[in-house]
Amino acid sequence: MSSQDHSAPAFAVHRTQSHRRWWFLAAVLVIALLPLVFQDSYWRANLIVCAINIMLAISLDFILGYAGQLNLGHSAFYGIGAYVSTLLIMQLGVPFWAALAVGMALSGAAGMALSLFAVRLRGHYLAIASLGFAVIVHQVLLNWISMTQGPLGIYGIKPPPPIAVPGLPIIEFNNSASLFYLLAGFALLSYLLLDQLVRSPIGETLTAIREDEISAASLGINCTLWKVFAFGVGSAIAGAAGAFYAGFVGTLVPDAFIITESFTILAMVIVGGMGTLSGPVCGAILLTVLPELLRGIGDLRLIVYGVTLTLVVLFMPGGIAQAVRLLRARLTRSLPPAAAGAGR
């Protein structure tokens, strides 16, 4: 084998890493510019909702798209993170960041407990079990009035406390621009964490379980352990999204975490493209912004929204990620051979 053959894989890895670095810098640049472009408080609020939904979508995609666990109760972990962190702050005076960590830990623990309970369930049986868990959590939030205030809600929730960086002005999060930077930064860190996991041997292990659990077990993979791990990580990130949501809206009511929220998150993953991470990011942005853009046409927006989802599922089951791959392949075929070779 020639030295050129030996260097080809190393060159491919270096090129991939270079592309990922450029994409990361582009994402940072976009995040930095968005509040400057959208200075209206309404659209800045939508940007914050986009960041929260991205965290929810990629965390569900890690469970569903990579581990193959059909989780329809993601809103439960979202709600656990929101209520646990808020109650710790408002009733016990726990600092926000400590309460955030506890909310993430308990959400992750709840996800792991659900996974252990439903370890022998697959497909629609697991979906029903996770859906039942979401119903239970919602009913607890609704009826444990002495703790959660039930339908009355919890009011006066403050945003995250200021951060003092030596040599820089104190960063306050009581304005939408700073809060967006915080949530978008946390969403980006969550994405990078999950991206590293799925590109590591852990991602290969989860994919093997998703494709054929029996074959994976025959190879010595502890399927139970890794499914619990996937549920724990995904649920913890959803819990973080809940903690930030509470600080953003300033109010918590159980109806914010009803079952339909789980289906909305699932739609973001499916529309974006399961098992891609970048796809659910696009799906979260699209399904957050599209209803707002269609708000001017009144109730007709619900029909347009529903038709759009239906068409995507019917004709592009791989979601936005599949559409991008097809477009890229078509553009590559349309290039002259020399240009296509240079692009590779």
136-185 pLDDT per residue, tens: 999 999 999 989 888 998 998 999 988 877 777 888 888 889 999 999 99
The answer to whether 223 touches 216, Cβ cutoff 8 Å, is yes
pTM of the model: 0.88
Provide the b/e sequence for 273-295 (b: ≥16 CB within 10 Å).
Answer: bbbbbbbbbbbbbbbbbbeeebe
From the list 135, 146, 145, 158, the residue with the least C-alpha distance to 79 is 135
- pLDDT at residue 311 in the model: 79
**What is the tens place of the pLDDT at every residue in 256-268?**
999 888 888 998 9
Alpha carbon distance, N-terminus to C-terminus of the chain: 22
pLDDT of residue 15: 59
Low-confidence ranges of the chain (pLDDT < 50): 1, 3, 6, 8, 11-12, 338-344
Query: In order of start, what are the domains of the chain with their CATH numbers?
Result: 47-293 (1.10.3470)
Q: Which residues contact 38 (CB under 8 A, 6 or more apart)?
A: 44, 47
pLDDT of residue 344: 45
Predicted confidence at residue 134, as pLDDT, reads 92
